[in-house]
Structure 1
Amino acid sequence: MAQSTVLKAANASNMIPKLYLLTNDDEFVLLYQKLEAALKTGLIGLLQIRRKQILSLPDGESRLYQEAKQIVELAQAYNVPVVINDNIELAAKLGVGVHLGQQDGKIADAKQQLLPNQIIGRTCHGNVAFVKEAKNEGASYAALGAVFASTTKPNADIITCQQLIEGCQQDIAICVIGGLTAENVSELAGLPIKYVAVVGDIMDLPVTQIAVRCQQWQQAFLEWNMPA
């Protein structure tokens, strides 16, 4: 993802992205501590609950519900909106938003079951047709990626600069995801991106380092629209 290419093609924008944090598969007590450290900074704009390993357990759904309840309460204490990954019913039960993969539910069903103010995200990979479809169906944002190689999803296809730029031109809020760090995100500077989704670059750190890392992300965002 060449910085000069992206900057040249980007429309001028005063938008500064928000940090969109996703949970990892840490043991829950540790996960909660990490989330609290991040949320305390006031720099998290959106939180996604994604617990694949928990869901794979025999009692995964009930465990996820109990965990998610606690995470939602924590996020509410810091006024951070929450989305649940791929589960409209759980999102409705908890009164939060949802993020849907292409094969994980219809946006129309989410809109029908969730409150009007709840966020609905849609995975669009690098497919601009999916972005247009998400907009037309009423999604809150379209997620594009992977931007870089990721340890979370190492086999995900990397999108091109052109796919990212075209996605940003579809008049829907854009989220980018995949291998992003506080250092390499500057390669996207100037693009009208609403959310930068992060897992490993924050959640793989010890609890004591998370607040500092969030501050480093915020510094990268503050430099978003500065001249190159």
Structure 2
Amino acid sequence: MTKASTIPETSTMIKTTVPTLYLLTNDDEFELLYRKLKIALATGVIGLLQIRRKQVLAQSNGEAKLYEEAKEIVALAQQYKVPVVINDDIALASKLGVGVHLGQGDGDIDEAKQTLTPDQIIGRTCHGDVALVKEAKQAGATYAAMGAVFASSTKPHAHTVSYQQLAEGCQQNIDICVIGGLTAENISQLKGLPLVYIAVVGDIMDLPIDSVEKRCYEWQQALTNW
């Protein structure tokens, strides 16, 4: 998707509510990651946080290490009243008392609903497939994530979705999250879509630590102009 803004907006898509900025962790060394998260959360701009640490999990003691990291991150997020979801791990989400994000094939929504408390968020990856969005809604997911919107440093070879696919996803009566290559500058190309979550990794987390606060406020400005 390179020219999302060329697709005409329709009156049924217009939404006055500002989307929530949804921050995902990267694979920084934990001390640096924690410092960046503390700065980002302190701005008050972040409305949802996902713990995704694939390189940590790949280590021989990855599950134990992730649990220790996640406990600290969840405690930090609680200080700023920001809800947390764990990537792909229902058991860990339950252990920590947080939500979960499930990729296709990485967990069952019914299992998550039975395991987690009713107030915990359950997200589902749906790529650009509206049929998967419908499935997520029917299964009772909180939100459906669509993307990649643009190529990104996290997933440079991911298939991108069109504005029209996103518009159709937004018509399925489930909260829609967009992800993939989004920046405070290009997000304006999605104006007119009733998005609930805008997920960001690299545009904040891959920055030097002294740039994180400024970037969060640039995102705040971009979303204020939504």
TM-score range normalised by the length of the shorter chain: over 0.9
State how many pairs are aligned.
224
Q: 1:194 aligned to 193, 196, 213, which one?
A: 196
Alignment correspondent of 1:137: 139
| In structure 1, C-alpha distance between the alignment counterparts of 2:135 and 2:66, rounded to whole Å | 30
User: Given the two structures, how large is their TM-score scaled by the length of structure 1?
Assistant: 0.96
How many angstroms does 1:111 deviate by? 0.4
| In structure 1, C-alpha distance between the alignment counterparts of 2:129 and 2:156, rounded to whole Å | 19
Q: 2:157 aligned to 155, 158, 166, which one?
A: 155
User: Given the two structures, how large is their TM-score scaled by the length of structure 2?
Assistant: 0.97
% identical aligned pairs = 66
Letter in 1 for 2:37: L
With over 3 angstroms needed to count, the CA separation of the structure-2 counterparts of 1:81 and 1:30, relative to structure 1, is same
1:23 aligns with 2:35: no
Q: 1:171 aligned to 170, 173, 193, which one?
A: 173
Task: Name segments (4+ residues, structure 1) moved above 6 Å.
Answer: none
How many angstroms does 1:208 deviate by? 1.4
How many angstroms does 1:2 deviate by? 2.6
With over 3 angstroms needed to count, the CA separation of the structure-2 counterparts of 1:18 and 1:6, relative to structure 1, is farther
Alignment partner of 1:7: what SS?
coil
How many angstroms does 1:211 deviate by? 1.1
Give RMSD over aligned pairs.
1.0
How many angstroms does 1:7 deviate by? 2.9
Alignment correspondent of 1:12: 14
With over 3 angstroms needed to count, the CA separation of the structure-2 counterparts of 1:110 and 1:6, relative to structure 1, is farther
Q: Which moved more, 1:52-61 or 1:5-14?
A: 5-14
Alignment correspondent of 1:65: 67
For the 8 Å contact 2:4–2:162, the answer to whether it is kept is no
Letter in 2 for 1:114: L
> 5 Å matches for 1:67-216?
67-216=69-218
Letter in 2 for 1:57: Q
Query: Residue deviations 1:33-84, cap 9 Å, x none?
Result: 0000000001101000000000000000000000000000000000000000
1:223 aligns with 2:225: yes
For the 8 Å contact 1:6–1:187, the answer to whether it is kept is no
Alignment partner of 2:9: what SS?
helix
| In structure 2, C-alpha distance between the alignment counterparts of 1:10 and 1:200, rounded to whole Å | 31
| In structure 1, C-alpha distance between the alignment counterparts of 2:65 and 2:212, rounded to whole Å | 26
Alignment partner of 1:111: what SS?
helix
Q: Which moved more, 1:5-14 or 1:198-207?
A: 5-14
Alignment partner of 1:154: what SS?
coil
Letter in 2 for 1:169: Q
How many angstroms does 1:161 deviate by? 1.5
With over 3 angstroms needed to count, the CA separation of the structure-2 counterparts of 1:161 and 1:215, relative to structure 1, is same
With over 3 angstroms needed to count, the CA separation of the structure-2 counterparts of 1:113 and 1:210, relative to structure 1, is same
| In structure 2, C-alpha distance between the alignment counterparts of 1:13 and 1:207, rounded to whole Å | 33
Alignment partner of 1:89: what SS?
helix
